[in-house]
Amino acid sequence: MAYDLTGNRVWVAGHRGMVGGAVARRLAAEGAQVIEAGREVVDLVDQAQVKAWMAATRPDAIVLAAAKVGGIKANSEFPVDFLYQNLMIEANILQAAHEADVERVLFLGSSCIYPKLATQPIPEDALLTGPLEPTNEWYAIAKIAGIKLTQAYRTQYGRDWISAMPTNLYGPGDNYDLNSSHVLPALLRKFHEAKVSGAGEVVVWGSGTPLREFLHCDDLADALVFLLKEYSGYDHINVGSGVEVTIRELAEIIAEVVGYEATLTFDATKPDGTPRKLMDSGRLHAMGWNRARPLRDGIVDTYADFLAHERRHGTDD
């Protein structure tokens, strides 16, 4: 039977992030009462704070979108932050949710949990079948532990908790800091700044040949609400768009959306990361969700948000 979210109190852990923000908007549209708690209210790395806050708040459901996230450079430079903080956040929240008898939890991972050389498109059961991509193994190990912990509560205590693994995400509210961002917001910013300054050149990291699949965060939020309502099972579920492009093709689409033709310079001193990362979202599609928007439309929407953000704050905050 479908889980009814109407009127339910749903805590979106990580509501200030791009994904959490999108999930909170989507849940509100579903008639749920969204609970938000910033770091000043509860520090998710602190076990005692999380337990006390959860015992006092007792949400009906949780979407666990809180995480220390970053692109290829940040992951390589801050391994402790990515492994320790993510392990603590998920362990604290899941144990406190168990103690507070939270009915539904949706744990969010990422496609980097899969082996570097997994068969493509990557099915859910590729998990733990081979070595990870070293540039983001810290984050991946933490997320794999989170999936397993979610499954452990289901197995040991019968909790109706689930996990979803989104592909590479983008959209309004993304991080545009070039040292820690992912490729899509980084290239949007680089093309925009080249247009403003007339620089004529945009530097793209790596060879431009890696393939990536991209999903707009509002489409992810829609899929997550669908899963919360419809899915109850042990296995984690892939959430992708099925659309993959090379990094060079991505740069070309962004150039077109921004409206600036620049020479692409490929910086071979920067890592390519995993060569290809396309998820098999067949299980989600078979359940009835297949509503991802075309990549170009999503980038148009994201560029509009980037421009609005720049008008409000500048891009360096």
Question: Which of 42, 72, 162, 227 is in the footprint of ligand GDP by CB under 6 A?
Answer: 72
Residue 12 interacting with ligand GDP (CB under 6 A): no
Phi, then psi, of 263 in degrees rounded to 5: -75, 130
Considering all CA atoms of the chain, what is the largest pairwise distance in Å, rounded to the nearest integer? Answer: 60
Our answer to whether residue 139 is catalytic in this structure is: yes
Give the x/- contact pattern for ligand GDP in 135-154, rule: CB under 6 A. Answer: -x------------------
Q: Minimal distance in Å, beta carbon 71 to ligand GDP?
A: 3
121 prior amide bond cis, ω within 30: yes
List C-alpha distances in Å: 194 to 203, 256, 281. Answer: 10, 13, 36
Catalytic residue among 3, 84, 114, 139: 139
Q: Which stretch binds ligand GDP (CB under 6 A): 198-206, 215-223, 235-243, 301-309?
A: 198-206
Out of 247, 278, 284, 299, which residue is the one contacting ligand GDP (CB under 6 A)?
247
Q: Does residue number 181 form part of the binding site for ligand GDP (CB under 6 A)? A: yes
Q: Could you say whether residue 270 binds ligand GDP (CB under 6 A)?
A: yes
With residue 238 as reference, give the H or E element that holds it: strand 237-239
Q: Is 254 in the site for ligand GDP (CB under 6 A)?
A: no
Contact with ligand GDP (CB under 6 A) among 11, 53, 161, 205: 205
**Pairing verdict, β 211-216 and 244-246:** antiparallel
CB count within 10 Å of CB 39 equals 12
- CB atoms near residue 3 (< 10 Å): 16
Stretch that binds ligand GDP, among 15-23, 121-129, 159-167, 205-213 (CB under 6 A): 205-213
For 27, 73, 95, the CA distances from 63, given in Å and listed in that order, are 10, 27, 14
**CB contact at 8 A, 236 and 143:** no
* β-strand pairing of 160-166 with 237-239: parallel
Return the number of the residue (146 or 206) whose C-beta is nearest ligand GDP.
Answer: 206
Nearest approach in angstroms of CB 73 to ligand GDP is: 6
Shortest separation between residue 138's beta carbon and ligand GDP, angstroms: 12
**Assigned token pair, 210:** 């890696």
Which of helix, strand or coil describes residue 31?
coil
Active site residues: 139
Site of interaction with ligand GDP (CB under 6 A):
71-72, 112, 136, 168, 181-183, 186-187, 204-206, 210, 212, 247, 270-273
